[in-house]
Amino acid sequence: MTAVGGRVAVVTGGASGIGRGIAEALRDAGAQVVIADIEQDALDAVAAELGVAGVQVDVSRLESVQALADTVLDRFGRVDIVVNNAGVGPLGYIRDLTVEDWRWLVDVNLFGVVHGIAVFLPILEANPDGGHIMNTASQAAFAPLESMGAYSATKFAVAATTEVLAAELASAGSKVTATLLAPGPVLTNIGTSSRNRPDGEVGGLQDAVLAETMDTSDWLRPEEVGRIAVRAIESDDWLAPTHPQYVAQARERFDRITAAYGKYPWIREEPTT
């Protein structure tokens, strides 16, 4: 079990959406929280509102994540929980995407997690009591949809990275544990992700505020996801899905995988003499 009360927790993408919800839930559970975000104005406002520390970061840059860690260590002397949550989610059909589209999503969604692990894992492992890493993926890591190819690719990668990390830490007897957070639809502003895209880059990705066109009756609020995240951290769960009713989507995909395995049985030809 991972204790949350009294621990120092860092949440990237913490100035809005799921990150904010997790930060609030960690704070309510007694953690000292540091939110990190690329948007300075939002960061300042949310840090003040929640009564937590705020540090600007660009997770796509390793040196920025390292500076975040240095700042937290200087101020609090330790880090116990890290939530690699920052991400972007515009849509676009693969045939329309540019290399720059792919690079942006990979840099933020995947390398943001990679940088967080590379910088913070040694810090957590140096703690006498270890610590916890949570990486935010998506339901799209289990059931990808059309127009979400690039986004899903990054979330598949985050899912695989986290699952392997959790297994490796367990095999090594580490006191650090890892959780994959896999949100379904949540009422956030991820539909306007392009506001944080580097200036001048235009490709085949388009923002889409899906909540304006879809039935949102089963969408969660960020604070609800925050409570799920904290429960998963406290329980050291390797996977924290937010919408158990969506298991049918994952099952349908795995049924197709199983059928494919059955269609191509293993055939070994005996050597001829």
Residue 246 a catalytic site member: no
Q: Edge to edge, what strands does the sheet with 131-136 contain?
A: 53-56, 32-37, 8-12, 81-84, 131-136, 176-182, 239-241
Residues 151, 246, 261, 264: which is the catalytic one? 151
CA–CA distance, 231 with 27 (Å, rounded to integer): 13
Q: Which residues pair with 84 in a beta bridge?
A: 135
Q: Which residues are catalytic, by number?
A: 151
